[in-house]
């Protein structure tokens, strides 16, 4: 199953900001996403973003988003919105009350991968999100958006049978690791696509990740996993 949606608005060559407010926001988001992915979030100033977006108004980010944190929140919100739109189209989404572990993992993983595949090329979304995931100051932003968009009233609250009997701390710790694994591998594959050196397809990446996540989440626990409080990280 391959689902395509229209993602970011890109322009050939140099970015160009139109007078339309929504279009201007999109161009700024695209410019920030690319620069953050290539150079790191802390290494890129608001001025560099506006210049890369093709506007002489160096206050454009403040005008359209407010603070730097608001810009980052908008970037993550856009990414999550794209994923959520795809998730709603999956057949599994019609009845989420009795999903097994593989079905739940599929409902999370495939829309994420499809959203990366749907972006204009070159793309920088996966690499940006991986960097954002590593920043402590963005933890609440990412968690809040994910909770809001992916754990709504329709998402199952019970554990799938495959995880019954595992300590909660083990499940939480594994889930934390999986976030890094998913976005880390997607960021690497995104780089290979940008360079024209990719093997396989985004969909094959998605199913590899599903197999890996299911195996890791359902593996027996042989230690108490009491070495770290994952709920605070």
Asked which of 74-88, 135-149, 183-197 is least confident by mean pLDDT, the reply is: 135-149
Q: What is the arithmetic mean of pLDDT over 202-224?
A: 93
pLDDT at position 122, please?
A: 96
Q: Average pLDDT, stretch 164-182?
A: 87
Per-residue DSSP letter, 101: H
Residue 221 burial class via C-beta count within 10 angstroms: exposed 0-12, middle 13-18, buried 19 and up: middle
Mean pLDDT of the region 77-94: 84
| pLDDT-derived band at 226, boundaries 50, 70, 90 | low
In the predicted structure, residue 12 carries a pLDDT above the cut 60: no
CA pair distance 16, 141, nearest whole angstrom: 29
- Of 87-101, 103-117, 146-160, the least confident: 146-160
pTM, two decimal places? 0.82
Per-residue confidence (pLDDT) for residue 150, from 0 to 100: 44
* Interval 17-32 mean pLDDT: 81
Torsional sign, CA 127, 130, 136, 137: positive
Query: Does the pLDDT at position 11 exceed 50?
Result: no
Helix%, strand%, coil% for the chain, nearest 5? 65, 0, 35
The CA distance from 104 to 171, in Å, is: 14
Q: Is the peptide bond before 122 cis (omega within 30 degrees of 0)?
A: yes
| Arithmetic mean of pLDDT, 56-78 | 90
- Nearest Cα to 126, choosing from 215, 225, 209, 21? 209
Q: Note the pLDDT of residue 98.
A: 77
In percent, how much of the chain has pLDDT > 70? 77
176/156: higher pLDDT: 176
pLDDT score recorded for residue 195:
95
């Amino acid at each position: 199953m391959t689902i395509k949606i229209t993602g970011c608005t890109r322009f050939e060559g140099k970015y160009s900001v139109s007078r339309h407010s929504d279009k201007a926001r999109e161009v700024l988001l695209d410019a920030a996403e690319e620069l953050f992915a290539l150079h790191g979030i802390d290494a890129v100033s608001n001025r560099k973003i506006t210049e890369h977006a093709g506007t002489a108004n160096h206050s454009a980010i403040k005008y359209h988003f407010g603070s730097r944190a608001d810009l980052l929140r908008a970037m993550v919100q856009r990414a999550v919105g794209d994923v959520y739109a795809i998730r709603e189209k999956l057949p599994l989404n019609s009845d989420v009350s009795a999903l097994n572990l593989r079905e739940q993992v599929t409902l999370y993983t495939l829309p994420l991968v499809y959203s990366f595949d749907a972006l204009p090329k070159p793309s920088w979304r996966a690499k940006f999100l991986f960097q954002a995931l590593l920043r402590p100051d963005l933890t609440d932003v990412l968690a809040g958006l994910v909770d809001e968009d992916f754990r709504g009233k329709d998402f199952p609250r019970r554990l799938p049978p495959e995880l019954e009997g595992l300590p909660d701390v083990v499940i939480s710790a594994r889930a934390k690791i999986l976030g890094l694994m998913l976005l880390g591998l997607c960021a690497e594959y995104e780089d290979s696509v940008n360079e024209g050196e990719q093997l396989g397809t985004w969909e094959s990446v998605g199913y590899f990740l599903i197999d890996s996540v299911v195996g890791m989440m359902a593996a027996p626990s042989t230690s108490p996993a009491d070495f770290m409080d994952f709920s605070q990280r």
